[in-house]
Structures are given as structure tokens and as C-alpha cells.
Structure 1
């Protein structure tokens, strides 16, 4: 893997009383954010050859809207391993997909923001935050290891 695109899901509606967190949908603003993220990716020539996505409603919706803006985007692969994952668990998942040249992962905080910190800074406690629909584009110059990535771009709506 040479390039890693990390996308946090867009703004979601609050959970209803007793509602399931995984079934939360995007807000109207979240739908706009997801479309804007896709437009940013397309305008910067980002072309993932594999997309991994958490199976929650808000990440599915984010993926659908963002990928619609990109030509020939691959169908996302939904995996439970992304929801509520630690940076180490996300790193292990990404390691299983090392054959992809450009990999995109759509998930949740705090896992996404801590993964960025782990890959760029070498420590997951040095995260700076990842807003809803925030994107981080990382370049890997070697193995997928802590501190071995360069942050090439960061975008948020």
C-alpha cells in the first residue's frame, strides 16, 4: 500500500432514546458533508482501488454519497472490525489489505483520528481531532508501521 485515505463519517443524527448507535443516519448537513468530501477526493484525483467501511448506517451513507462523486469507485467492503476499533486493531485490518495500492477506510472517532496520529507521529495519544467528514490522505514510504506515514492532505467541510 502506497496511499491511505481515511474518512470519518459525516455528521449523524443524535441517537434516539434507547436507540441503537449503529442505526443512526446522517443529518441533512451530514449528507452535504459526505458529498463535499467526495467532490474533494474527485477534484484531487484520489482513486482508491479498495474501500473498507464500517457497517453502521452513517458510514454506509457517507460511503455512498462520497463515492458517488468519484468515477469508477470500487464498491465498499463492509467490515464489523472498524466499528469501535482501536488504532492497533485498525492497523491490523489495514495490514490484511496491503496488496491494495490506494486504500480508503471509512470509520469512526476516536479510532480514525488516533490511527492518523499513530501512523504519522508514531503515537496514538498525540491525535489532534478529526471532524465529521474529515479526510486524511497519508503516503506510506515503506511498511505499514507507526510513524512511517506522511500526511499529504487534510480536509474538512
Structure 2
């Protein structure tokens, strides 16, 4: 079964302050511009998802809002600090969505991209803030099974 996975990494956020809750960090002014750019790219490439799963972290939710406005979304706590394996499990759980958008974080996203595209899960720095990765999947979600359809970075 062919399906598509789109990863949207959260845009630049305000710096963390000692003792603050990391999930409460908001987007910076730069991040707002980046998120809007990601949304323009997604819309111009007709890359709108059938289902959206978003990390509950404020910066991820704000990235989604600035990118796509108000869309039906499921806040998925497992995305925050997820490993590539945990993200694969989420993707598998949503196999019925023809095009799934995950909004979240590194290092899980960049490791997942490397794993799906190359079969390797080494140290990669390939998904910058507000970066969009569009992957085609044909069958099982396993190492090397993804084909990179498009990539965008601000």
C-alpha cells in the first residue's frame, strides 16, 4: 500500500531558561517566519495531510498553527523526545492515513529520515528548524523502505 509521510520539524524557538519546562518554549520571531514559509511550501506543493499528529510542545503546536492554520490535529505526547523506532510505531498505528503529517523534533526526525531513506541510523543533521521532509512509503515502514519525494528548508 502506497502512502506518504511528511515530517515538519518545529521552527526556531526561544532559548531555554534554567528551570523552565522545555515543552513550554514558544517560537521566536524568526520561528514564526520560518513556520509560515513551511506552510506556504506545503500548500504550493499540494502536500496537505489526511491526518496530523503533533507534539504537545508549544513550539510544535505554534509551528503547525502558523504553517497550516487551524486544522484537525491529534496532540501526540509520544512524539516529544521520540526515537526513530517510536516514530515508526506511530506511523504504523496510522497506516490507514494516505498522507500523514508529523510535527515534532530532532533528533528523532533526522534519525527517522536517515533510517527510512538509507537504511542507516547514524548521526545525521538533516532536518533543520521548520524543515519539511516528504517521504513516499510502499509497504512496510522499515529501514531503506522510504523514497525521498521532496525536502524544504527555510
Q: Above 0.5 in TM-score?
A: yes
- Give 2:130's aligned residue: 133
Which of 106, 110, 119 pairs up with 1:109? 106
C-alpha displacement of 1:122 = 1.0
Specify the SS of the correspondent of 2:122.
helix
Residue-by-residue CA offset, 1:7-43 (whole Å, 9 max, x unaligned): 1000000012211111000000000100100000000
C-alpha displacement of 1:124 = 1.3
Given the superposition, is the C-alpha separation of residues 126 and 149 from structure 1 closer, same or farther in structure 2, using an over 3 Å criterion? farther
Scaled by the length of structure 1, what TM-score is found? 0.93
Tell me the distance in 2 between the aligned counterparts of 1:74 and 1:99.
19
Matched, 1:6 2:14: no
C-alpha displacement of 1:152 = 0.9
C-alpha displacement of 1:74 = 3.9
5+ residue gaps, structure 1: none
- Give 1:94's aligned residue: 91
Which of 79, 83, 88 pairs up with 2:80? 83
Scaled by the length of structure 2, what TM-score is found? 0.95
- Give 2:51's aligned residue: 50
Q: CA RMSD in A?
A: 1.2
Aligned length: 153
5+ residue gaps, structure 2: none
Tell me the distance in 2 between the aligned counterparts of 1:124 and 1:78.
26
Is 1:116–1:127's contact at 8 Å kept on the other side of the alignment? no
- Structure 1 runs (4+) greater than 6 angstroms displaced: none
C-alpha displacement of 1:126 = 5.3
Tell me the distance in 2 between the aligned counterparts of 1:67 and 1:124.
30
Tell me the distance in 2 between the aligned counterparts of 1:6 and 1:25.
19
Specify the SS of the correspondent of 1:41.
helix
